[in-house]
Structure 1
Amino acid sequence: MGTVGINFGPINSGQGFDVASTVSQILAAEQAVEDPWKTQLSSLQAQDTALSKMGTDLASLSTAMQALTDFSGVFASKQGASSDTDVVELTSASNLAVAGSHTVVVNSLAQTSSQYSDLITNSADTLTGSLTVTIGGQSQSLNVSGQTLSQLAASINSASMGVAASVVTDTTGSRLSLVSKTSGAAGQITLSASLTDDATSTAIGFQQGMQGVDASLTVDGLNTTSASNTVTGLIPGVTFQILAVSANPSVPVQVQITNDNASIEQAFSKFVSAYNAVADDIKTQEGKDSTGKPEPLFGDPTVALIQNQLSQGLLTGAASGSIKSLSQFGITVDQTGHLTIDGGTLDNALNSSFSDIQGFFQNASSFGQTFNSMLNGLSSTSMNGAVYLALKQNSSQEDTLNNNISNQEQRIADDKSRLTDQLNTANQILQSLPDQLDQINQLYSAITGYNSGH
């Protein structure tokens, strides 16, 4: 520890000294104790930033891999096409759909049952009577007393009678329309009505607008029916609309279900990009910054672990049929450690070995499942992940350093207060010395008769 000099001039000058400056000089040595702690803390915080970025990029890589290993992910996606969209139009193909070709012949379309009432010239007329609606063997009745057509429609809808009621009005008058809420034969409406127009005493009857019938079609040679023109279940995982009757039953519509290669190839591209982002993080930490200083994680064992695990991870996992490695479907490692992807090779492999590639990512002990487990062991979110543990260790050291700095700052504050009080007292004494010396001289002159001023 260096010494601190106090400059207060001749002892009888009364000038004293600069207390604040003197205290600062004394405390400078104590503050210097904090410097290595602050340097280490800054280094740890820089490591945290680099580790957090690596953890984020590893999480992105994990997400990209999960899209390929998820049983309901992109490998399950299907596309469909119809050879005649005027007759059959595909709506969706779920992950239950299987790639293949199917034939459809539409013999007749499904119809939804409907009924409509006789014309009422004045829609404001009230009605009297009752109405019973039967659908699928279930009957419900409604008493009508002093209700207009609109009020009756509202009452039917509120009663949940299995039909949608509305009032249809044109230039000739108004009618009550009833449309079954169930399509096909099961929704056939049977009415029992005894309604009278109160104003004209005219009986109001009902006529059938549309018969409820099921669609008739042939799927892959099987004659079948559908209560709706939206057909599900006849081709596993596929929903399609039948829009018209086949013009020539001997020429069925071809429905083609294919794997969604475009989405799969996009998922592979995201995987490659995410892997390369982590590889770039590692490469950055192996070098120096713009000032020539080593990067925060230069030589860090966690980075070495991640690099080693990623490199080995590309070679792990059991084979799936003809697929034993990434390179067989166009993904290779270049001289820089980056993954590259050959779109043509990947597309050809998906067309020729789709199930094997899928198994390479989704079978037990496959590459995909093994790589996923490896990523979990490196992550910043798993409590056993390498990045998580490294950040936790840093956090513990940072807590210790922050406590040391905080305690030292408190000691400095206490010393500053104590020294300031002590040096202020000493300064006051120095400043009062001329007066005290003058008093002594006066006393001496009074006693001796000697005048020091002559």
Structure 2
Amino acid sequence: MGTVGLNFGAINSGTGIDVAATVSQIIAAEQAVETPWKNQLTTLKAQDTAFSSIGTDLATLSSSLQALTGFSGVFAAKQGASSDTNVIALSSATSTAVAGSHSITVNSLAQTSSMYSGVIANVGDTLSGSLTIQIGSGTAQTITVGSTSNTLSSLAAAINGASIGVRASVIKDTTGSRLSLVSATSGAAGQITLSGSLTDATTGTSVSFQQGQQGQDASLNIDGLDITTASNTVSDVIPGVTFQILAATGSSQPVQVQIANDNSTITQAMSAFVTAYNAVVTDIKTQEGKDANGSAQPLYGDPTLALIQSQLSSGLLGGSASGAITSIGQLGLSIGQNGMLTLDSGQLQSVLNTNFSDVMGYFQNVNSFGQTLNKSLNGLSSTLTSGAIYLALQQNAAQETSLNKNISDQETRIAADKARLTDQLNTANQILQDLPNQINAVNQLYSAVTGYNQQNG
């Protein structure tokens, strides 16, 4: 801390003290105490930034690994193909689907039962009578035409409101209007049985009904087994596979449906894992060096950095074998001298084609490579309370809190000192500035008493 002094002219000059400059000099000396604290805060903040960046990249790496280790991840994905998409179109293949080929013959499509009335020339004509409607083997219900249901539109509304299991609507064309009834249940179980009579009371004409479409189940043969289904959307015949029946072909034209593992998605996920891993390695290498000014990076020599490096290395080389797969090298993964991973996609595709279940087990079995590395990454997390980066950030936060308190307390003391010094020096300044007047008064008094004038000699 430098020496602080008071500078003013001759005692009888009346110039006084430069209060502001003097106070600033004293305060600057007190503020110098904060410099090492602020320097340490700057260092800690830089470490926080570096830790947070590594934590983000580790989280990305963990997410990319979970896509491979999760039971509903990329290994569960399936691809499907139909040899004739005009006959059978695949909708989806879930994780429960098993890779393999299926031969499907479509004998007939499912149909939904429908009926329609004869033409009524004037849609507003008044109707009379009643209709009894039965769906399949369900209970028959009777709709009696009344004052609120005696037109085609109001009758359709009454039928829909009765929840019988049909959808009633009015269809118009150039010849007139009809009442259409379509079963809400596809297949044979939704067959409409209609009885009763309906009359156009305006014209006195009887209104008859005709079968539009017979309720019918689809007839298939899948891998030699005869199957019937009420819907042309089939989802419970081949486990995990949903497909649409679009046309009947007959037994002479079976369609081949192929279900395969989605190796391309797995390869993409492996590539994402390699990219994420290399990002973390780059983070570590950056912190082990110097910045553009030649100064050490914030985490240079930090033990947490060494722990991350050690955990990644052990996790990458750990885990038990899964059948024929005993190392990451068999998956097309290799580690360069710079610590970076590379992926041979061709080798990965080959091993997926020959040992798919073993590859999946290498990521998903208990104590497997995937589960071991996942555990290592959890131990380095910046969000889990037991994670190394989380703990390092917490330790820094505690030090930052203490340093900020020291600075805050010092600033409080400085503010009090500044106010006190300013008041004291202003008072002293007033005294110094008034000294010439006081000296002059003394001289005048002295002259009056002695008759001697000091100024004239």
Report the counterpart of residue 245 of structure 1 in structure 2: 248
Q: Residue by residue, what CA displacement relative to the aligned partner does 1:287-315 show, whole Å, maximum 9, x if unpaired?
A: 00111101111111111100110011111
Report the counterpart of residue 182 of structure 1 in structure 2: 185
**Unaligned runs of at least 5 residues, structure 1:** none
Instruction: Give the Å deviation of 1:167.
Output: 1.1
Q: Residue by residue, what CA displacement relative to the aligned partner does 1:377-429 show, whole Å, maximum 9, x if unpaired?
A: 10111000011111111111101111111110010000000000000000000
1:220 to 198, 220, 223: 223
Instruction: Give the Å deviation of 1:161.
Output: 2.0
Query: Within 5 Å, which residues of 2 pair with 1:19-418?
Result: 19-136=19-136, 137-146=138-147, 147-247=150-250, 249-418=251-420
CA distance in 1, matches of 2:161, 2:383: 53
**Quick check: 1:79–1:257 contact (8 Å CA) kept in 2?**
yes
When normalised by structure 1's length, the TM-score is 0.98
Range moving further from structure 2, 407-416 or 196-205: 196-205
Q: Match of 2:169, as an amino acid?
A: S
CA distance in 1, matches of 2:163, 2:36: 80
- Aligned Cα root-mean-square deviation (Å): 1.1
Q: Secondary structure at the match of 2:317?
A: coil
Instruction: Give the Å deviation of 1:63.
Output: 0.5
Q: Secondary structure at the match of 2:182?
A: strand
CA distance in 1, matches of 2:296, 2:124: 89
Report the counterpart of residue 434 of structure 1 in structure 2: 436
Instruction: Give the Å deviation of 1:82.
Output: 1.1
Instruction: Give the Å deviation of 1:8.
Output: 1.0
**Quick check: 1:80–1:90 contact (8 Å CA) kept in 2?**
yes
Q: Match of 2:90, as an amino acid?
A: L
Percent pairwise identity? 67
Q: Match of 1:326, as an amino acid?
A: I
Q: Residue by residue, what CA displacement relative to the aligned partner does 1:9-43 show, whole Å, maximum 9, x if unpaired?
A: 10000000210100011111110000000000010
CA distance in 1, matches of 2:139, 2:438: 120
Q: Residue by residue, what CA displacement relative to the aligned partner does 1:33-58 show, whole Å, maximum 9, x if unpaired?
A: 00000000010000001100101000
CA distance in 2, matches of 1:152, 1:386: 73
Q: Residue by residue, what CA displacement relative to the aligned partner does 1:138-172 show, whole Å, maximum 9, x if unpaired?
A: 33332322432122222222332211111111111
CA distance in 1, matches of 2:400, 2:126: 84
Q: Match of 2:164, as an amino acid?
A: M
Runs of 4+ in 1 over 6 A off after TM superposition: none
Instruction: Give the Å deviation of 1:251.
Output: 4.2
CA distance in 2, matches of 1:394, 1:152: 77
Q: Secondary structure at the match of 1:128?
A: strand
State how many pairs are aligned: 453
Instruction: Give the Å deviation of 1:449.
Output: 1.4
Q: Match of 1:165, as an amino acid?
A: A
1:17 corresponds to 2:31:
no
Q: Residue by residue, what CA displacement relative to the aligned partner does 1:260-292 show, whole Å, maximum 9, x if unpaired?
A: 111110000100001011111001000001111
**Quick check: 2:17–2:425 contact (8 Å CA) kept in 1?**
no
Q: Match of 1:15, as an amino acid?
A: T
Q: Match of 1:350, as an amino acid?
A: L
Q: Secondary structure at the match of 1:164?
A: strand
Q: Match of 2:167, as an amino acid?
A: A
Q: Secondary structure at the match of 2:413?
A: helix
Q: Match of 1:449, as an amino acid?
A: G
CA distance in 1, matches of 2:126, 2:16: 112
Q: Match of 1:116, as an amino acid?
A: Y
Q: Residue by residue, what CA displacement relative to the aligned partner does 1:341-380 show, whole Å, maximum 9, x if unpaired?
A: 0011011111011000000011111111111111111011
CA distance in 1, matches of 2:239, 2:42: 61
Instruction: Give the Å deviation of 1:118.
Output: 1.2
Instruction: Give the Å deviation of 1:177.
Output: 0.7
Range moving further from structure 2, 31-40 or 236-245: 236-245
**Quick check: 1:193–1:205 contact (8 Å CA) kept in 2?**
no
